[in-house]
Amino acid sequence: MPEPVTQMTDHFPLAHFERALDGFQPPTEAFDPLGAWVNAYHIWECSQGNRKIGALRIERTPLSARRAKLAVRYRKMAAAGILRAEMSVECKADGLATPIRWQAQSCVHDTEDKPIEDTRLQETGEAGERGPRVKVGGKTARVSVEGPFTFDWCLFEAVQRLPGEALEPLAFTLIDRLSREAKAEQRLAFRTAATVELGGKRVWREEKQTLEAGAVYRPVPAREGATATALRAYNQTGRGILPVVYWVNEQGRLLFALSGLIGYVLNAEAQA
């Protein structure tokens, strides 16, 4: 029996991001999570309104069957400037895309997109037997982690290779957004598989309901022009983060990473 087609409003947290997903076009091209690819995301902030506030671009280059390089570019608008960051990570092709070595830099730009030089920060790092070591400003410091660790942006790659319902929950420490502060007790686990109508535009349809007193019609949300898309979702919970739900399609491609008010939505036109 085919899976029932569900609405975004049936699923947490897709319901909260429904407006940000208006017009979303599920990708149709072939995708190999272990191959070379580029994923670009618009960053949405969905509080009182819904606004695109930046972009994230991740490019994967396989180095071998066990390793890959991720080139990450990040851009976020600020009230009076632009934040730009870049990261290059060599990582394992394991369940967490565990970082091996990396380099990163960030800089605030003014409203004319000129860099403000004393906001520039560069760092390099590598995984060691006793945890990651990061060199910044000529000084090296060890980051205290318990067990496996990874970066948030590495997880964008890793979740595409996870086995769905067969996933045994992964426990790890998170180091996010070029931080050097470890966030403990992270857990990545399978959430659900569902076929969901994505994209299109929200409309209201009348649904007939027969009661003893007669038929009534009640409005139910639907999406016009939407595409039924088979999805798998994974949950990430832990210290120092709001829970994240990653939604991947049948080919494993990460379409959405949604957490609290912030959503990353796949869009080939997103410019980081």
Partner 1 sequence: MSANRCDRRSFLRTTGSALGAAAVLTSGRHIARAAESKPNLLFIVCDQMNLDAISYLGNANVRTPNLDRLAQRGVAFMESHSTNPVCSPARSSLFTGRMPVETGVVHNDLAIRPGMPNLGEWLRDKAGYETVYCGKWHLPQGYAFAGMAGFRALPTGTGQGALDDAWVARTCEAYLRNRGAKPEPFLLVASFMQPHDICYWMLAPETLVPSELPFPALKDELPPLPPNHKSFPDGPPQVGTGFPGFGTDLRWRYYLYCYYRMVEMLDSDVGRLLDALEQTGLAETTVIVFTADHGEGAGRHSNVQKWHPYDESMKVPMICACPSRMQHGLINRAHLVSGLDVMSTLCDYAGVEPPPNARGLSLRPLLEGRQPGWRDHLVCDWKGEGKIVRTSQYKLVTYANEPQVQLFDMQQDPWEMTNLAGDPAKAGVIEEHRKLLTEWNARMEPAPAQG
What is the binding site for partner 1 (CB under 8 A)?
A: 12-13, 15-16, 43, 45, 47-48, 53, 76-81, 83, 106-108, 110-111, 116-121, 136-137, 139, 141, 176-181, 183-184, 187, 189, 235, 237, 239-243, 259-262
Q: Which CB atom, from 108 or from 272, has the smaller least distance to partner 1? A: 108
33 versus 238: smaller Cβ distance to partner 1: 238
> Quick one: which H or E segment has residue 258?
strand 254-259
- Sequence-distant (≥ 6) Cβ neighbours of residue 49 within 8 angstroms: none
Q: How far is the CB of 179 from partner 1 (least distance, A)?
A: 6
Least Å from the CB of residue 165 to partner 1:
15
Beta bridge partners of 57: 40, 73
Report the C-alpha gap between 204 and 201 in whole angstroms. Answer: 10
Distance of closest approach, residue 43 Cβ to partner 1, in angstroms: 7
Question: Can you say whether the dihedral through the CA atoms of 178, 102, 52, 160 is positive or negative?
Answer: negative
What span, in angstroms and rounded, lies between the C-alpha atoms of 85 and 105? 6
Cα 72 from chain centroid (whole Å): 13
CB of 166 to partner 1, least distance (A): 17
Tell me whether residue 67 or residue 76 sits nearer to partner 1 (CB atom): 76
**Nearest approach, Cβ of 46 to partner 1 (angstroms)?**
8
Q: Could you tell me the maximum CA-CA distance found in the chain, to the nearest angstrom?
A: 78
For residue 108, give both structure tokens.
């605030």
Whole-number minimum distance, CB 47 to partner 1, in Å? 4
* Residue nearer to partner 1 on the CB measure, 23 or 169: 169
Closer CB to partner 1, residue 8 or residue 68? 8
Joined together, the tokens standing for residue 196 give: 């969901």
Nearest to 222 by CA among 61, 44, 8: 8
| Of 119 and 271, CB closest to partner 1 | 119
Q: Is residue 250 within 8 Å of residue 237, measured between CB atoms?
A: no
